[in-house]
Amino acid sequence: MERYPPIAEHGLVGDLQTAALVSGSGVVDWFAAPRFDGPSIFAALLDHDRGGAFRFAPDDTPGTRCKQLYYPDTAVLVTRFMSPDGVGEIYDCMAPDRTGTPTARHVLVRSARAVRGTVRFGLECRPRFDYGRAAHTCALRDGTAAFRAPGTTAYLQTTFPLRTDGTDAEGAVTLRTGQLAAAVLTVDAPDAPAPPPLSVAAVEDRFWEVVDFWQRWLHTSRYRGRWPGVVHRSAITLKLLTYAPTGAPVAAATMGLPEQIGGERNWDYRYTWVRDASLSVRALLDLGFAEEAAQFTGWLGERLRAGLDAGREPLQIMYRVDGDPHLPEETLPHFEGYRGSAPVRVGNDAAGQLQLDIYGEALFALSEGREIAMRAGYHGWRNIARTLDWLADSWDRPDEGIWETRGGRKDFTFSRLMCWVAFDRGLRLAAAYGRPADTVRWTAARDTILEQVMQRAWNDREQALVQYYGGAVLDAALLLVPRVGFLAPRTESWLSTLDAVERTLVSDSLVHRYDPAASPDGLRGSEGTFSLCTFLYVDALARAGRLRPARYAFEKMQTYANHAGLFAEEIGPGGEQLGNFPQAFTHLSLIMAAATLDDALDRQRDPLAPPAF
């Protein structure tokens, strides 16, 4: 087992309530339960010695090569091991939640098979509960290893003999061509009984049930563009990162993975950001997944209602997947961090920041389709109207901005831009559905924001809109300007802003969020290019009619995906993936960019065709 495999050398499996990472060498080195934001059971990715891991793979043999892929159109991960003696495969999957009910029970199925020759598979299951802080026991009875820790029980069942090694479990099995074996880990509540006896036939049935679920779900996609493989992989990834009981997506499956190796930018991303999740609505609707989009907007509407009724800011920037607003941040000093990247943080204090842009993203989501707007109903509309009435008195304030900087509040341009979006979309909804609204007040606020931004955020030297009023720093978040309609995509002021972004933030088509050296963000170190921003750049290029560089940038970006088509948050100086993995924001922006680029290329062939966006 490599001590710290590259972040990108993993695949993701999940059951729509939690998820696990499996390395290219067959090691589960990240798994939390009972939810995405629950305490870890395996976290070797954050501390090789103390984090815990679950290895099920062929014995190390000189000359062995490992390959990983997804079973077609599914979230079933296949890890292949090719050695001089034979070829073996491990199939990893979790049965998706179909009930919409939170559960403590989560089942990770790992099946092994020899497809050529003879392969000896070894198993080591070394759980470390509660981020390695909770002691546990291990008892072997009737071939089942029971791991018990405060608050959690995990049962390991295999179709071959197990033995204990202190508080861990081990085993091995030799398979010949066509033979199968399985290991199933069931995580459950402390008093949960052991699962029924395991059989290879039952594991095979579970495998095909999972395959059928994903292939049937993906079959409902209406995407017919040029990049079905990468778009559908991104759709499956977004689905994997969505908590089925509420419809709330998490930003990423992991916590603590660094934006710079050895640096301190190591955040916990296992929560629902209003910004990220709201933008996912457009991506889901583009693909035809209206039910998923509507479920999230229902969750979002409930957050608005709760905030308004409590008499506080209507929204905060992130929540737990069940809507809980409390995300206290702490460090795990006993974890060394991925390749020494410390501190490892759990929780996220950025939840308490003021980021006014979230109101624009929320209204953007709630206005993105008739099925979304109509489902909100009258009471949902009243919460929207109350929010905009509040925002009319509250938008003109410094805040921390979209990138969650910890360097103090400023008059961030993107925050004002998205407040404009909030009023603009609210006015559109009121007109389209005949809803009661203080349209005079909302219109005045919308128009004031536009005038203010164009006067105070415009930098004559750069000939561009800049990150904050009176500054000279560019901000890639502003690449959303043409998508939300603040400026037309081919006006002189927007094209000169796009040119300035290219001069200062783009490196070989990869895009930095901003320049921390020019705009200190209160944190040490640097970061890679932000993959979300690269796809926003593609989107902006396509809307500006710059189709050749847009398509080339989109195609080049695919070379930075990992072997399974997954993206982390950032791309490092040497092309390596950095940050939490996989990141939903990156995958939703890929879908958005693909849809925009497809449409622009189609209209280039047929100039009379109406735009699809």
Sequential DSSP letters for 31-49: EE-SSTTSPEEE-TTT-TT
DSSP per residue, 345-385: EES-GGGGS--THHHHHHHHHHTS-HHHHHHHHHHHHHHHH
Distance in angstroms (rounded) separating the CA atoms of residues 473 and 483: 21
The single residue listed with the structure tokens 């402390």 is 190
Query: Across the strands, what pairs with 192?
Result: none
Give CA 538 to chain center in angstroms. 20
Q: Side chain identity at 248, as an amino acid letter?
A: A
- Residue 120: burial class (beta carbons within 10 Å; 0-12, 13-18, 19+): middle
* Domains identified in the chain and CATH numbers: 10-196 (2.70.98.10), 230-605 (1.50.10.10)
Q: Is the pLDDT of residue 611 over 70?
A: no
Write out the two tokens for 433. Answer: 């559905």
Give the CB-side neighbour count of residue 245, counting CA atoms within 13 A: 13
β-bridge mates for residue 272, sequence order: 319
Q: What's this model's pTM, rounded to 2 decimal places?
A: 0.96
Return the axis-axis angle of helices 274-287 and 357-366, rounded to nearest 10°.
30
- The Cβ-side half-sphere exposure at 153, using a 13 Å CA radius, reads 13
Q: What is the mean pLDDT of residues 283-305?
A: 92
Task: Output Rg (C-alpha) for the chain, integer angstroms.
Answer: 25
Confidence at residue 610, expressed as pLDDT on a 0 to 100 scale: 57
Residue with tokens 């603040």: 486
End-to-end Cα distance, the chain:
48
Return phi, psi of residue 340, to 5°: 80, 15
Q: For 297-318, what is the mean pLDDT?
A: 94
Q: Please report, for residues 25, 315, 393, 438, 448, the alpha-carbon distance to residue 397 in angstroms, rounded to integers and kept in the order given.
A: 50, 16, 10, 22, 14
Q: Residue 609 pLDDT more than 60? A: no
Q: DSSP E strands: which ranges in 374-483?
A: 458-459, 464-465
Phi and psi at residue 339, in whole multiples of 5°?
50, 40
Q: What is the mean pLDDT of residues 13-21?
A: 98
pLDDT of amino acid 61: 76
User: What is the structure's pLDDT at 613?
Assistant: 45
C-alpha to C-alpha distance for 264 and 260, rounded to whole angstroms: 8
Q: What is the pLDDT of residues 131-163, one digit of tens each?
A: 999 999 999 999 999 999 999 999 999 999 999
Burial of 190 (0-12, 13-18, 19+ CB in 10 A): exposed
Non-local CB neighbours of 276 within 8 Å, separated by 6+ positions: 249, 251, 584, 585, 588
User: Residue 354 contacts by C-beta under 8 Å, 6 or more apart in sequence?
Assistant: 313, 397, 399, 400, 409
State pLDDT tens for residues 435-492.
999 999 999 999 999 999 999 999 999 999 999 999 999 999 999 999 999 999 999 9
3-state helix vs strand vs coil in the chain, percent to 5: 35, 25, 40
- What tokens does 359 get? 């109101």
> CA 517 to CA 82: how far, in whole Å?
47
Q: Distance of CA 269 to CAs 349, 389, 546, 581, 597, Å?
A: 11, 31, 34, 9, 29
pLDDT at 606 over 70: no
CB 534 within 8 A of CB 510: yes
Task: Read off the tokens for 597.
Answer: 């680029």
Q: Is pLDDT of 80 > 50?
A: yes
**Mean pLDDT confidence for 13-18:** 98
Q: Model confidence at 188, in pLDDT bands (50, 70, 90)?
A: very high
| Angstrom distance (rounded) from CA 335 to CA 342 | 8
Q: Which residues of 414-433 are buried (b: 16+ CB within 10 A; e: fewer)?
A: bbbbbbbbbbbbbbebbeee
DSSP state, residue 499: H
At 502 the pLDDT is 97
Rama region for 430: left / alpha / beta (φ>0; ψ in -120 to 50; rest) = alpha
Question: Which residue in this structure is represented by tokens 């998205």?
Answer: 418
Please compute the mean of the pLDDT values over residues 191-218 and round it to a whole number: 95
- For 224-254, the three-class secondary structure string (H helix, E strand, C coil) is CCCCHHHHHHHHHHHHHCEECCCCEECCECC
Place of tokens 């070829």: 87
| Cis peptide, bond prior to residue 102, ω within 30 of zero | no
Question: Rounded CA gap, 312 and 387, in Å?
Answer: 11
Joined together, the tokens standing for residue 466 give: 């800049």
Strand order in 529-530's β-sheet?
529-530, 570-571, 577-578
pLDDT tens-digit map of 495-539: 999 999 999 999 999 999 998 776 666 666 567 899 999 999 999
Instruction: In whole angstroms, give the CA distance from residue 98 to residue 100.
Output: 6
Report cis status (omega within 30 of 0) of the bond before 607. no
Could you give the CA distance from residue 164 to residue 150 in angstroms, rounded to a whole number? 20
Lowest model confidence (mean pLDDT) among 59-73, 106-120, 148-162, 559-573: 59-73
Bond preceding residue 127 cis, omega within 30 of 0: no
pLDDT of residue 519: 62
Of the pLDDT bands very low, low, confident and very high (cuts 50, 70, 90), residue 372 is confident
